[in-house]
Structure 1
Amino acid sequence: MFDIGISELLVVFVVGLLILGPERLPHAAKTAGLWIRKIRRSINSVQREINAQLDDEEMQRKILETNKKELAEHSTKPADESSGERVIQNTITPLPTKELQPVKPAPEETNANNIAPEPLNTQQIDTSKNAS
């Protein structure tokens, strides 16, 4: 940004020391540093906003170009190829209805898994293990 070398910086420091004196020079350097930092932040913020805006405009331009190409390709296709339904309808042949017969439902069968287990009789439980 600034092309300031060490020799120019040393001259500025000596002039500042002579004009401001050793008491006010640190405070002046701190204030100058804060101002330079604020200016750099502002410049960086503006650059980021400009770059973001340019990226958005470029993206919009690419989208418009792509849409124009797609519309041009879509309008040049023949009607049969552009409509997939027409091609599919022409290739499907209906089945004869004479050969179709209704399906009879299967008879209900009793399943062994559907039967609930019998409750345990408490008198049948072996209590000999508890007696020892």
Structure 2
Amino acid sequence: MISKIFIALIALEHFYILYFEMFKWETIGKRTFNTLPENLFKPTKSIAANQGLYNGFLSAGLIWSLVIQDKVWAYNIALFFLICVLIAGLYGGLTISKKIYFVQALPSAIAIILIFFSR
């Protein structure tokens, strides 16, 4: 049950990322990525929207894993999408901000561990 709660929270986080990268890049995006110069937000709006869409796919996959009745499929799908989130979090932590390690990579790593303990 705890692994499902973690999966749901990670899915919600990535849905929120979809929201601000696709629809609020020039407001919430500026506050979130405050190290970027302000003049870059307008010209990068479509790039951010594309990133947001990918975060939406991660969120959809995690939500899908929560509604599947077959436990084996649900675990496998959850693991696939959590590993995608983990890799993205590790890369983001390495290239953008160390904060991403804690906000994205760590929760997905914890969820992966919880899944293995719940089997």
The TM-score with structure 2 as length reference comes to: 0.30
Higher relative contact order, structure no. (Cα contacts within 8 Å, ≥ 6 residues apart): 2
**Which has the greater radius of gyration?**
1
User: As a proportion of its length, which structure holds more helix?
Assistant: 2
